[in-house]
Structure 1
Amino acid sequence: MNYRVIKENDLFLLTDEKGNIPKGHEYGAGLYTKDTRYLSKFDVRINQQEPVLLTSNSDDAYRSSFILTNPHMEEDGELILWRESVELKRERFIYDGVCYEELIVTNYYPKPVSFDLSVHMEADFQDMFIVRGFQHGEIGNKTGVKQGENELRFMYEGADQISRQTVIQWSKQAKEVTDLGDLTFGFELAHGQRESIVLAIAPIENNEEPVILPVDEASRKLKESHAKWDNNIAKLQTDHLPLQRLVDRGVSDMRVLLTDLGYGSFPVAGLPWFAVPFGRDSLIAALQLLPFQPEVAKGTLRTMAAFQGTKLDPWRDEQPGKIMHELRKGELANTNQVPFTPYYGTIDATPLFLILLSEYIKWTGDVELFNELTENVENALMWIDEYGDRDGDLFVEYHQESSKGIANQGWKDSADSVVHRNGDYAKTPIALAEVQGYVYQAKQGMAELFEAVGNIEKSKQLVNESNQLKEAFEAAFWMEDQQFYAIALDQDKKPVGTLTTNPGHVLFAGMLSEGRAQAVSNMLVSDKMFSGYGIRTMGEGEAGYNPMSYHDGSVWPHDNSMILLGMGKLGHHTQANAVIDGLIKAAQYFDNDRLPELFCGYSDGKPVIPYPVACSPQAWAAGTPLVMVQTMLGLYPDTLKKTIALNPVLPESMNELVLRNVTIASGQLDLIVRREDHELKVTVEKNTTGLDLQLVDQKKSKSSRN
């Protein structure tokens, strides 16, 4: 990963490996909030020369550090500064909308030294879409630079009538400050002496003054926030250290990716480009988090409900009841030059909203949230039937209306992702296989909740509708010659027969017959679909197959996790463990024990090949190891039925899995699964959930009350 990124709430900083923001950086380095770049240049020099990088640390995505030193400096035979005399540490973090950077200089030369340390900054206030080269349009103007005592402000008046400023403050008296954003500090250090400067950089809108704390106080509060997260999340302990590291990293990354827009914390999609609400991504990440931190699902659901569609607006692909795809708050969005305020061009977020609500209540028993969101539920169900099913054939289809919208509106949203076996691209309206599974699961889940609150008539209606969809799906999507399901139906209702992972998501819905579900699982771990490092998005040998592509042969960890949820629920443990082992093996090829958004789909026998612009960290990739744990345990609670299903099967490489502090209903569950004499022994250390734990033995089924 040739960049470094840190984030806290709605502010993130992307730099190169030295900690700089260079102009023309390939990833568009900068300090961003609300889809605006508030710092477009940032570097530090010693005597106007670029320091030499020794190391940089990006283990945590909420703070980073860099160690640099000076090059040899000599002029006309006179020594200015011996090489490696000065150590420069750059330590940074973000708290409460302010980026703090401490520059710590230490003299390791045997004698006193004197030198200048200069900081160079600029702010271009560019919209994220412009930075990425996706859009151009009418924008505002920079209105100058204002100097104050130990303070500099870059100012901008946007075309959206928003005044933006980048406020920079520093802790040491500067020798020189220029309107170009150059700060110079003089140092005279004895041998071994250390001194520091703290920079605080705060983006603000409409002259709202930033709250800049002493750096130690801000650092302490950030640590306390992360400690609170750690104390309220389930804890894994296993002898399989690669999985342990993956889960620890996933939990940490999920915390970094949390944002709160006023409705509770939810995970944004990923860094660096998608640190914003995404319907599909945020909902799936919250679903993955349920066994470890179910409270995030509540914030995610409330956020999605707050932005639920209310009207017909083709520019934004909005329809009443529809859950959004993506929310942007930059200048181009605010002036309606792009339709992301929010944009609704997603076919799956609406049923996923209902699935997350159903699964959240199965974990927590929080039926009050269902009561709170009943109107949103009714509107989402209305959207499925009246707008999602465009022609009344029971299938939910998508079709782009917006001129600047997205053509393919499932999770595989690249233009080439839905392709026939002869290489022709399918034409919209398109009905995706996984979306029909989501709709079935959503209606079944809502039926249970309506029954729980006494609305029996509505419950029966939804069960009947979902059963009709199940019959229609089997008739239209099953391909007898392939013993597999089509990825989609095209505009002519013809099956798009290319073999892909999409039908694998339907396993979790419980919509497939036992035999066909088994056939789907078997196909997904066949040589055609399974790379050895994970399940490919498209089968090797298909007309559209390309292991280097975004969606047509690459491996997406989250895609695998959605399949794992179904495999675990159905007891397809041999297939599930093959997928888990493959993903764990793949993770060793990436920095910081972190699965990226995706990687190339080449077969094993060679190293994993990264995808060049994959997000990392990325929410639903971070959540994938958490799903691995749930799948290995076969852990599926249902507070409505007052049961907890447990069907553990560990991979051969693992002998112990301990999961504690699992929040279910109003209590907690602590479990130990240990391999003894080639058999698994389950110990329930604590069960204060009030639910019956139903343990499925691999030799025989039995139920135990704890």
Structure 2
Amino acid sequence: MDYRVIKENDLFLLTDENGNIPEDHPYGPGLYTKDTRFLSKFDLKINGEDPILLSSEADKTYYAEMLLTNPHMEEEGDVKLWRESVELKRKRFIYGGALYESLRVKNYNPKQTSFEISLHLDADFKDMFLVRGFQSGKVGKKLETVINDTGLAIQYLGADEVTRKLDVKWDAVPDRITEKGDVHFSFTLDHGEEKTVSLTMVPEVDGDTPEQLDYKEAFQRLKDSYKEWEESSAKVSTNHSQLQRLIDRGLSDLRVLLTDLGHGKFPVAGLPWFGVPFGRDSLIAALQMLPFNPEVAKGTLRTMASQQGTKKDSWRDEEPGKIMHEIRFGELANTGQIPFTPYYGTIDATPLFLVLLSEYIKWTGDFELFHELEVNAGEALNWIDHYGDRDGDGFVEYHQESSKGIANQGWKDSGDSIVHRNGDYAETPIALSEVQGYVYHAKESMADIYKQLGFNEKADKLLREAADLKERFETSFWMEDQQFYALALDKEKNQVGTVTSNPGHVLFSGMLDEAKAKSVSDMLVSDKMYTGYGIRTMGTGEAGYNPMSYHNGTVWPHDNSYIILGMSKTNNRKQAAKAMEGLIRSADSFEYDRLPELFCGYEANGKAVKYPVACSPQAWAAGTPLLFVQSMLGLFPDAMKQTVRINPYLPDGVNDLKVENMKIGNGVLSLLVKKADDTHEIDIIENTTGFKVVSR
């Protein structure tokens, strides 16, 4: 990454590698909360000049550190400051709605040395959609900046009549402060002497002031919260060092991406631009985390239920029972200039809500949550049948109604992503293959829950509908000449026959028979679809194929993870192992062993090719190696049957896999799998779940 980003809860900071926020930078660095940039300029100078970067670390994503020094400063032969004589160390983190920064300066000059450090701050309070250039519109105005010796307050009154303020405090007396927000500190240090200035920056919305702590106490509380997260999550250890780093990185990044808007912790989609509730992304990331921390699924489900659609509103593509796509909280949303309040233009979030709910119940047996969300679940099922199926043909399809909405409303939501084999773009309404799988999965799983609770009539109805969908899907989507399923059906019910990764998601649903599941799995790891670093979104030779395209030939880790879990579930374990091996291999190409949102779909040739504007960290990419663990174990619990099914298959190079403190039911399961040749030995270390472990 050529940027640095840190986050905690609903506040994140995006800077350059020096730790600065350059003014008017096209990438939009800043301090953001509630979709508003509260800090649009923040740079540090020594004697009025930019320092030289020595190192910049942001591997933890909740804490960043930059080490800098001074350039040589000379005027008409008179040395003002010898090069590399002053060390500047910036440390920063976010906690409790505030940004904390510590600036330590140390003199390495043999003699006493005097110099000036200046900080230059400003806030434009721009809506994120304006920063990203996606929108123009009516905005508010800045108010007078309040300045005193201990800090300054930059203020703004929005077009939505909301007052926003950035309150900046420092713990040293500055030499001078200008009306522009330039703060100057003078230092005179002996050799080896050091001093520290600490700053606190607090965004406020309508007078809501977060708690402010001193630097050390805030940092300790932040570290304690990470320790608590680690202790409450399952722990994995393996001989494969790259896989180990991927898992550790994924679990750490998902902790960073957790946010709580009042309904429990859930993963936002990704940084820097999608740090908000995001229907399918948050739901899939929570699904990936079930083996590690099922509490996240609970928070995600409650958050999504709180925003479930209640009415027909074409401006927001809202319908009763529909689960949202994305919600925004900024000035443009508040004034109705964009439809994200929330926006509901997604075809898959509603069935995925039911998939996550049912899978969560299978892992935990937490029927209390089901009863809490039972009405929401019923409304989601009703949406599938009465709004999702727009024309009564038995398939769920999408069509954009909002003038500022999204045209393609599956996870491949680019305008060019649904393309026929002849290169023509499909016209809506469009029924996507993977969405039919999500619907089948939802109805089958919800039927199991209803049957467990004694609602046999509801259960039988859902099972009949699922069986009918399976039959219709086979007839309408199967392409005999390709031995594969179509990407979609267009508005004329013609197959969109391009070979893509989408049908791979149907594997996890259980809708495919054994032969078809094998055929799909084989295609996905064939030369047409497999790069050596993972499965492409679209196959080579297709009219729309482009290895640099966002959705038409790149590799998306989360897409692979859902496919891999389905391969494991359908006993296509060798294909799953091959896909995992490629993604594990790709991690060497990315900073901090962090799988990005996506990367280019070129054949393996030393390094995976980066996609230029991929989010990193990104929730469902971070969750991908976590889903590897479940897939390698072939582990599928079922609280209703009081069983845990396990069928392990470890990829090449993974000789042992140990998982401890995996929460299932009301207990924990810990186990060790060892591989010798093609056999796998299973050692159950601890089982307090009360479930029977069944090895296939």
**Equivalent position of 1:105 in the other structure:** 105
**Secondary structure of the residue that 1:683 maps to in structure 2?**
strand
**Equivalent position of 2:427 in the other structure:** 427
**Equivalent position of 1:687 in the other structure:** 687
**Secondary structure of the residue that 1:54 maps to in structure 2?**
strand
**Equivalent position of 2:36 in the other structure:** 36
Residue ranges of structure 2 left out of the alignment (5+ in a row)? none
The answer on whether the counterparts of 1:419 and 1:498 sit within 8 Å (CA) in structure 2 is yes
The answer on whether the counterparts of 1:146 and 1:179 sit within 8 Å (CA) in structure 2 is no
Q: Distance in 2 between matches of 1:276 and 1:307?
A: 13
Q: Distance in 2 between matches of 1:235 and 1:425?
A: 46
**Secondary structure of the residue that 2:145 maps to in structure 1?**
strand
**Secondary structure of the residue that 1:144 maps to in structure 2?**
coil
**Equivalent position of 1:245 in the other structure:** 245
The answer on whether the counterparts of 1:660 and 1:669 sit within 8 Å (CA) in structure 2 is yes
**Equivalent position of 2:234 in the other structure:** 234
Offset of 1:221 from its aligned partner? 0.4
**Secondary structure of the residue that 1:608 maps to in structure 2?**
coil
1:200 maps to a residue whose letter is T
The answer on whether the counterparts of 2:160 and 2:334 sit within 8 Å (CA) in structure 1 is yes
**Equivalent position of 2:297 in the other structure:** 297
Q: Distance in 2 between matches of 1:176 and 1:208?
A: 29
Offset of 1:654 from its aligned partner? 1.2
**Secondary structure of the residue that 1:588 maps to in structure 2?**
helix
Offset of 1:210 from its aligned partner? 3.7
Q: Distance in 2 between matches of 1:222 and 1:310?
A: 38
Offset of 1:148 from its aligned partner? 2.8
Q: Distance in 1 between matches of 2:112 and 2:693?
A: 70
Map 1:284-363; keep pairs closer than 5 Å. 284-363=284-363
**Secondary structure of the residue that 2:650 maps to in structure 1?**
coil
**Equivalent position of 2:536 in the other structure:** 536
Q: Distance in 2 between matches of 1:111 and 1:681?
A: 67
1:156 maps to a residue whose letter is Y
**Secondary structure of the residue that 1:521 maps to in structure 2?**
helix
Q: Distance in 2 between matches of 1:573 and 1:677?
A: 15
Map 1:607-618; keep pairs closer than 5 Å. 607-618=607-618
**Equivalent position of 1:582 in the other structure:** 582
Offset of 1:605 from its aligned partner? 2.4
**Equivalent position of 2:186 in the other structure:** 186
Offset of 1:626 from its aligned partner? 0.4
**Secondary structure of the residue that 1:558 maps to in structure 2?**
helix
Identity %: 62
**Equivalent position of 1:85 in the other structure:** 85
Offset of 1:571 from its aligned partner? 1.3
**Secondary structure of the residue that 2:576 maps to in structure 1?**
helix
The answer on whether the counterparts of 1:264 and 1:298 sit within 8 Å (CA) in structure 2 is yes
> How many residues are aligned here?
696
349-358 or 448-457, which deviates more: 448-457
**Equivalent position of 1:624 in the other structure:** 624
**Equivalent position of 2:197 in the other structure:** 197
Q: Distance in 2 between matches of 1:255 and 1:660?
A: 19
Q: Distance in 2 between matches of 1:226 and 1:98?
A: 17
**Secondary structure of the residue that 1:282 maps to in structure 2?**
helix
**Equivalent position of 1:562 in the other structure:** 562
Offset of 1:578 from its aligned partner? 0.5
**Equivalent position of 2:495 in the other structure:** 495
Q: Distance in 2 between matches of 1:680 and 1:558?
A: 27
Offset of 1:58 from its aligned partner? 1.1
Q: Distance in 1 between matches of 2:516 and 2:208?
A: 59
**Secondary structure of the residue that 1:552 maps to in structure 2?**
coil
- Map Cα deviations across residues 290-326 of structure 1 (whole Å, 9 max, x no partner): 0000000000000000000000000000000000000
**Equivalent position of 2:56 in the other structure:** 56
**Equivalent position of 2:173 in the other structure:** 173
**Equivalent position of 2:393 in the other structure:** 393
Residue ranges of structure 1 left out of the alignment (5+ in a row)? 697-706
Offset of 1:115 from its aligned partner? 0.6
**1:283 maps to 2:283:** yes
> Given the two structures, how large is their TM-score scaled by the length of structure 1?
0.98
2:559 maps to a residue whose letter is D
The answer on whether the counterparts of 2:588 and 2:607 sit within 8 Å (CA) in structure 1 is no
Q: Distance in 1 between matches of 2:425 and 2:680?
A: 48
1:302 maps to a residue whose letter is R
Q: Distance in 2 between matches of 1:376 and 1:5?
A: 36
- Map Cα deviations across residues 650-670 of structure 1 (whole Å, 9 max, x no partner): 112111110001000000011
**1:510 maps to 2:514:** no
1:338 maps to a residue whose letter is I
1:307 maps to a residue whose letter is Q
Offset of 1:212 from its aligned partner? 1.6
Offset of 1:208 from its aligned partner? 2.6
The answer on whether the counterparts of 2:96 and 2:210 sit within 8 Å (CA) in structure 1 is no
**Equivalent position of 1:550 in the other structure:** 550
Map 1:115-264; keep pairs closer than 5 Å. 115-264=115-264
- Map Cα deviations across residues 540-590 of structure 1 (whole Å, 9 max, x no partner): 010000000000000000000010110111111110010000001111000
Map 1:407-418; keep pairs closer than 5 Å. 407-418=407-418
Offset of 1:678 from its aligned partner? 5.5
Offset of 1:607 from its aligned partner? 2.2
Offset of 1:452 from its aligned partner? 1.4
Over the aligned positions, Cα root-mean-square deviation in angstroms equals: 0.8
The answer on whether the counterparts of 1:301 and 1:357 sit within 8 Å (CA) in structure 2 is yes
> Given the two structures, how large is their TM-score scaled by the length of structure 2?
0.99
**1:644 maps to 2:641:** no
Q: Distance in 2 between matches of 1:65 and 1:74?
A: 29
**1:271 maps to 2:271:** yes
- Map Cα deviations across residues 442-492 of structure 1 (whole Å, 9 max, x no partner): 001110111111111000000001111110000000000110000000000
1:331 maps to a residue whose letter is E
Q: Distance in 2 between matches of 1:210 and 1:286?
A: 28
**Equivalent position of 1:701 in the other structure:** none
2:26 maps to a residue whose letter is E
Q: Distance in 1 between matches of 2:167 and 2:24?
A: 23
647-656 or 469-478, which deviates more: 647-656
Map 1:592-611; keep pairs closer than 5 Å. 592-611=592-611
